[in-house]
Amino acid sequence: MADKHPYVQAPGVLIQILNQLRKKLPPKVDAAALKNLGLAPSNEGTHLNTLRFLELIDESGVPTQSAHDMFVIHDDDEFADTFAKSVQEAYKELFTLRGDEAWTLDRSQLMTFFRRNDKTSDAVGGFQAYTFQALSVYAKKAEATTSKPKSKPVSKSAPKVGKKDKPPVLPLEVNEAPHSESHATSGKDKNIGLSVRIEINLPLAPDQDTYDRIFKSIRENLLDPK
């Protein structure tokens, strides 16, 4: 048995290997056999180490008697019960500590056990936990976890904006009549300059005295009022 609890990075592949062994148990389960089956490419060592930890194969890859007795069981429930006993025996320290509760421990609790027991890193402890959980599901002692941790949604909505004040109305140039002399004003001016042009239609007068009287009246009342 290995000094430390085994781990695989792809528990799904480990399950495929176990299913293949149920279909036909080869005389030797080694890296070459897994490659020929198209299983665990480049990761044969971790999966073989797990099978050895469960005492399903010996150091040279030859299936043990326990494996021969187990993998010929056709009934799924009976097979699961026998497989569960192998797992329980292999993880003896965990079951001695936690009892049957060990089957359903969450990842965090399993990581604490493996890291404390094997002095492994956070990453390795996580893979050890996943491996044990996969074996628990295969033994029908736990349900597969398919849910992913929920992440807090990032709000993409724009921040609420209060009512905006109406922009100030800048004074504009005002012309009372076309062609008048304008007095432009800037945004800093507070007064509005006005230019007024008065047009007078003079009547046709028979003499000059009539026009003189009109202009005199304009000068006195509009241009130079008293």
Contacts (Cβ under 8 Å, ≥6 apart) of 218:
200
- 29 in Cβ contact with 39 (< 8 Å): no
- What are the DSSP calls for 53-118, one per residue? HTTSB-TTSPBPHHHHHHHT--SHHHHHHHHHHHHHHHTHHHHHHHGGGGGG--HHHHHHHHHHHH
Q: What three-state secondary structure class fits 129?
A: helix
Residues 185 and 193: their CA atoms lie apart, in Å, by 7
- pTM here is 0.63
The residue ranges of every structural domain in the chain are 11-138, 174-223
Residues 109 and 163: their CA atoms lie apart, in Å, by 53
Look up residue 186 and give its two tokens.
């800037």
Instruction: Provide the residue-wise pLDDT of the chain in tens; the chain has 226 residues.
Output: 456 999 999 899 999 999 999 999 999 999 999 998 888 777 899 999 999 999 999 999 999 999 999 999 999 999 999 999 999 999 999 999 999 999 999 999 999 999 999 999 999 999 999 999 999 999 999 987 643 333 343 444 444 444 444 444 334 333 444 444 444 444 555 555 666 666 666 555 555 666 677 777 777 776 666 5
Look up residue 47 and give its two tokens.
């999966």
Q: What three-state secondary structure class fits 8?
A: coil
